[in-house]
C-alpha cells in the first residue's frame, strides 16, 4: 500500500483485453481492465442494466461488453454506449513501475 493508493498487483498479471477483480469487504467488487494498448481502467464489477459481472465480459477498445445482454460499457466513464442508458461507477487507477494501483477513497466510494 502507498498512502491513498492501494497496490493490487503487476500489470502483466492482468490479461490483455481481460480483467481481474479486487474484493471489497462489505461492498461490491472492483474490476480492473487492461486494453490491448496496456491501458488500465477500474469499474465497479456490476453492469447498470441487470448487474452482470463486467469482469466476465470482453474488452473491445475502450469498452467492455456485459456477458449477460452484451451492453457495452465505456471503460473511461462507466456509461452505457449506444442506445443503452445507465452508468457504473469508475475508480481512479494508475500504473507505477509496472504495478497497478487503485485509489483507496475512490474504491470505497464506488463499492459502498
Over residues 58-111, the pLDDT tens digits come to 999 899 999 999 999 999 999 999 998 999 999 999 999 999 999 887 666 666
pLDDT of residue 84: 87
Model confidence at 31: pLDDT above 90: yes
Q: Which of the residue ranges 8-12, 23-27, 69-73, 92-96 would you say has the lowest mean pLDDT?
A: 23-27
Look at residue 1 in the predicted model and tell me its pLDDT: 41
Could you tell me which of 68, 55, 54, 60 has the C-alpha nearest to residue 36? 60
Amino acid at each position: 500500500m502507498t498512502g491513498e493508493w492501494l497496490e493490487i498487483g503487476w500489470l502483466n498479471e492482468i490479461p490483455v483485453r481481460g480483467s481481474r477483480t479486487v474484493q471489497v469487504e462489505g461492498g461490491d467488487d472492483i474490476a480492473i481492465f487492461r486494453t490491448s494498448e496496456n491501458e488500465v481502467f477500474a469499474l465497479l464489477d456490476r453492469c447498470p442494466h441487470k448487474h452482470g459481472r463486467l469482469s466476465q465480459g470482453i474488452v473491445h477498445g475502450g469498452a467492455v461488453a456485459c456477458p449477460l445482454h452484451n451492453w457495452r460499457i465505456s471503460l473511461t466513464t462507466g456509461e452505457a454506449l449506444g442506445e443503452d442508458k445507465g452508468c457504473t461507477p469508475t475508480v481512479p487507477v494508475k500504473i507505477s513501475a509496472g504495478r497497478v494501483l487503485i485509489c483507496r477513497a475512490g474504491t470505497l466510494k464506488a463499492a459502498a
